[in-house]
Amino acid sequence: MTRQRTGGRQGRAAKRKNQAASHFDAAWRQIKNPYPPIEQFSVDEIEAIHQASLTVLCEIGIKVLSPEAREIYVSAGMTEAEDQVIRFGPDLLLDLIAQAPSEFTLRSRNRTRDLRIGGNNVALGTAGGTPNFSSLQNPRHPGTQADFDNIMRVAQSFDVIHMAGVPVEPQDIPPNLRHYHTVRSAITLTDKISGVFFRGRHVVADSYEMLRIAHGLSPEEFVNTPLSLSVANSNSPLQLDHLMCAGIIDAARAGQMMILTPFTLAGAMAPVTIPGALVMQNAEALAGLALSQIVRPGVPVCYGSFTSNVDMKTGAPAFGTPEYVRAAFASGQLARRYGLPLRSSGPTASNAPDAQAAYESQMSLWGALMGGANIVMHAAGWLEGGLVFSAEKMILDIEVLQMFAEIFKPLAINDATLGLEAIRDVGHGGHFFGTAHTLERFETAFYSPLVSDWNNYENWAERGSVDATTRASRIFQETLAAYEPPPLDPSRLEEIDDFIARRTAEGGADITR
């Protein structure tokens, strides 16, 4: 039934053309993680990180480049020290953080795809913000609007992707007009959660207005309906710039969700020790989240974790490392310490959609998911530490995400699943292929893979010895060929297009403020 309402024709068509066709569990659903999170540290150790980050905030403070943000902090009782530095009283800070909800709902344009954030709910999103795009057909190049559109189409086609995000920078569109095209693309090509970049007040306001129209909400309804995804990155160490402050303030005023993710790469912008990097991550996250809660107490936010390490030989960022995994486990403990939903990621530093990309991203994902992440960004398509969005990597990642969705499904123990009668019927040395117990279940018993080829070597070789990356490429192209857009009220689209035309005529967004 959900299938009928959410998948529509485009869903069925895409499924016919690619191997997801046979997968019984392709229908959209919110994923719930049934396992208790893995804990990296003891309660006392987490408390030591917490206390150290309070000390950082109280004694060293955060340099806040926005005068408006500094004023807001001071209005709530923080102190402004020399040189744009805000210092935080621990009690005041923790009172603000306590205002943020532990769970909330993000509204999707397709209401059956509303997302619950927090608790043991998991929402998965595409890679975001990459300047380049690559595919086997069209090697690495600056991202275009056509690339962006294609990512939206594929994101829409796979139900395991919950959030379409802002995957690639369409560099063929001028920066002051870019958000009109990307938000319109997300609205028309998907019915999933859209992303809004903190690229200045006009960009944020324009984006929210387009989403408001797309959802058919009044301005009053909009500010009480979280429906978008934005990330503010602190400028580690211990700094918040103009754009991020403006974004945090504007998202809060608009009642929209904001994730505060410090960019704490151990050894570069953060201490070389993982506990030290976590102290800094925690201090920056709490400071940014507090700004949001001063502006609008109770507005939905997420604690963002992106702590990884650099290659100490070159300074290059590394992802999916052992350090990343342990930081992800610990970040879940910290987010839960404050009753906040956790955002984590699935990144890799690999330059190709190869075995390294697969093992590093999966390390990241296990760290994120077993750390208790509620939102996993950069979960499909990310390569090169975020410098490129890869078509093949997107499909390889979707396979792994579908596997996690299957692992997380309830597994019932009852007489039927214990199968004593089937075991009795087959007896010794037989097989279960043709038993009633098997025949009743075989179509839906197991996860049916998207990319994985389980043929024996001879069959695989006969078909050309096609490797996983090449198969992924084919699936990406087939998915595009079979894609059909989700329905959108024509009057809303007209209103959006009128808005874009008007704003474009006005010169687009002023992206300097």
Cβ at position 79, least distance to a copy of itself in Å: 15
For residue 446, what are the contacts with CB-CB under 8 A and spacing of at least 6?
Answer: none
Contacting residue, 273, 487, 491, 506, with a copy of itself by CB under 8 A = 273
Report the residue number, 166 or 240, with the smaller CB distance to a copy of itself. 240
Tell which one of 60, 217, 488, 493 touches a copy of itself (CB under 8 A). 60
How many chain residues interact with a copy of itself (CB under 8 A)?
A: 119
Nearer to a copy of itself, 149 or 241 (CB): 241
Find out whether the peptide bond into 237 is cis, omega within 30 degrees of 0. Answer: yes
> In the bound complex, what is the minimum distance in angstroms from residue 405's beta carbon to a copy of itself?
8
Q: Of 288, 347, 353, 486, which lies in the binding site for a copy of itself, with binding defined by CB under 8 A? A: 353
* Residues in 276-315 that interact with a copy of itself by CB under 8 A: 276, 279-280, 309, 311-315
User: Of 70-78, 166-174, 178-186, 398-406, which segment contacts a copy of itself by CB under 8 A?
Assistant: 398-406
Q: Which two tokens stand for residue 126?
A: 């595409």
Q: What SS3 class is residue 66?
A: coil
Query: In this chain, which stretch among 72-80, 201-209, 412-420, 491-499 interacts with a copy of itself, using CB under 8 A?
Result: 412-420
14, 31, 38, 115: residue in contact with a copy of itself (rule CB under 8 A): 38
Contact 157, 6 (CB under 8 A): no
Report how far residue 177's alpha carbon sits from residue 507's, in angstroms, rounded to the nearest whole number. 8
- If one asks whether residue 22 binds a copy of itself (CB under 8 A), the answer comes out as yes
Q: Detail the DSSP E strand segments found in 79-183.
A: 79-80, 85-87, 104-106, 115-117, 121-124, 132-134, 141-142, 163-165
Identify the residue among 28, 180, 208, 366 touching a copy of itself (CB under 8 A). Answer: 366
45 binds a copy of itself (CB under 8 A): yes
Among 96, 106, 238, 500, binds a copy of itself (CB under 8 A): 238
For residues 28 and 313, is the Cβ–Cβ distance under 8 A?
A: no
Q: Which is nearer to a copy of itself, 96 or 325 (CB)?
A: 325
When binding is defined by CB under 8 A, the residue of 13, 352, 493, 511 that contacts a copy of itself is: 352
* One of 12, 32, 63, 116 touching a copy of itself (CB under 8 A): 63
Q: Shortest Cβ distance from residue 481 to a copy of itself (Å)? A: 23
Task: Tell me how far apart the alpha carbons of residues 154 and 115 are, in angstroms, rounded to a whole number.
Answer: 19
Of the residues 75, 79, 465, 491, which one makes contact with a copy of itself according to CB under 8 A: 465
CA 59 to chain centre: 33
The one-letter amino acid code at 251 reads: A
Question: Is residue 184 helix, strand or coil?
Answer: helix
Contact with a copy of itself (CB under 8 A) among 93, 186, 231, 270: 270
Residue 243 contacts by C-beta under 8 Å, 6 or more apart in sequence?
198, 199, 200
- Per-residue binding string, a copy of itself, 124-163, x by CB under 8 A, is ----------------x-----------------------
Task: Please tell me whether residue 394 binds a copy of itself under the rule CB under 8 A.
Answer: no
Q: If binding is defined by CB under 8 A, does position 2 make contact with a copy of itself?
A: no
**Nearest CB to a copy of itself, comparing residues 82 and 220:** 82
Q: How far is the CB of 462 from a copy of itself (least distance, A)?
A: 11
The residue from 16, 71, 219, 359 that contacts a copy of itself (CB under 8 A) is 359
In the complex, minimum distance from the CB of residue 451 to a copy of itself, in angstroms, rounded to a whole number: 6
Contact 73, 79 (CB under 8 A): no
Q: Which stretch binds a copy of itself (CB under 8 A): 200-208, 210-218, 295-303, 383-391?
A: 383-391
What minimum distance in Å lies between the beta carbon of 100 and a copy of itself?
25
Is 24 an interacting residue with respect to a copy of itself (CB under 8 A)? Answer: no
CA–CA dist 371, 342 (Å, integer): 9
Of 99 and 470, CB closest to a copy of itself: 470
- Give the torsion through C-alpha atoms of 268, 270, 272, 274, to 10 deg: -140
What amino acid occupies position 276? G
Helix axes 178-189, 145-157, angle to 10 degrees: 20
Sequence-separated (6 or more) residues with CB below 8 Å from residue 27: 2, 3, 6, 7, 159
Q: Are strands 342-345 and 317-318 parallel, antiparallel or unpaired?
A: unpaired
Whether residue 383 contacts residue 348, with contact meaning beta carbons closer than 8 Å, is answered with yes
Site for a copy of itself in 417-456 (CB under 8 A): 417-420, 422-424, 426-433, 437-438, 441-443, 445-447, 449, 451-456
- DSSP letters for 226-283: --EEEEE---SSSEE-HHHHHHHHHHHHTT-EEEE----EETTTB-SSHHHHHHHHHH
* Beta bridge pairs of residue 388: 132, 383
> For a copy of itself, which is the closer residue by CB, 38 or 251?
38
Residues 6+ apart with CB under 8 A from 201: 246, 250, 513
Q: Which is nearer to a copy of itself, 428 or 502 (CB)?
A: 428
Task: For residue 499, state whether it binds a copy of itself (rule: CB under 8 A).
Answer: no
List Cβ neighbours of 367 (8 Å cut-off, separation of 6 or more).
Answer: 324, 325, 326, 327, 328, 329, 344
Q: Does 252 bind a copy of itself (CB under 8 A)?
A: no
Q: Which is nearer to a copy of itself, 467 or 489 (CB)?
A: 467
Q: Which of 3, 339, 460, 497 binds a copy of itself (CB under 8 A)?
A: 460
For residues 173-232, which are near a copy of itself according to CB under 8 A? none
